[in-house]
């Protein structure tokens, strides 16, 4: 079955970087894109970035632009999200989700299990 499995939780200090992985299985990786969505504790969903696994095109939310990089390794069907210059308000569960290969705007299905990133002094 189609599945996205993410790396484990992280605790980082302000100003540090974090890199979260998302390994896909059960489908042809390069036929889709991967979006990243975060959810702060007790809050709603916020889209932060997208990559086409087909051609590597990316799109990022303005709020994190300049601090986020999303990449893929097609040899292992894995997507990565790196967030630099971490701030307290980056504390959230980060989800990867399968989307379109053509654009960031698409329905997201399925989702990974989520990775909790805590920014703490």
Partner 1 sequence: EIVLTQSPGTLSLSPGERATLSCRASQSISYIYLAWYQQKPGRAPRLLIYGASTRAAGVPDRFSGSGSGTDFTLTISRLEPEDFAVYYCQQYGRSPNTFGQGTKLDIK
For partner 1, which is the closer residue by CB, 66 or 121? 66
Handedness of CA 60, 109, 77, 44 (dihedral sign): positive
Nearest distance in Å: CB 19, partner 1: 20
Query: What would the two tokens of residue 8 be?
Result: 């484990």
Could you tell me how many residues of this chain bind partner 1 (CB under 8 A)?
A: 23
> Considering only residues 25-84, where is the footprint of partner 1 by CB under 8 A?
35, 37, 44-47, 59, 61-62
List 39's β-bridge partners, or say none.
93
User: Do 80 and 72 form a contact (C-beta atoms < 8 A)?
Assistant: yes
- Interface stretch with partner 1, choices 11-19, 20-28, 66-74, 106-114 (CB under 8 A): 106-114
């Amino acid at each position: 079955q189609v599945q996205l499995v993410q790396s484990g939780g992280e605790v980082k200090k302000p100003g540090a970087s974090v890199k979260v992985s998302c390994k896909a299985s059960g489908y042809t990786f390069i036929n889709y894109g991967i979006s990243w969505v975060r959810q702060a504790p007790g809050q709603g969903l916020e889209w932060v970035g997208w990559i086409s696994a087909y051609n590597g095109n990316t799109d990022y939310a303005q709020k994190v632009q300049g601090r986020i990089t999303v990449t893929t390794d097609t040899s292992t069907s894995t997507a990565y999200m790196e967030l630099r210059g971490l701030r307290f308000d980056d504390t959230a569960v980060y989800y990867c989700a399968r989307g379109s290969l053509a654009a960031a705007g698409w329905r997201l299905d399925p989702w990974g299990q989520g990775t909790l990133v805590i920014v703490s002094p």
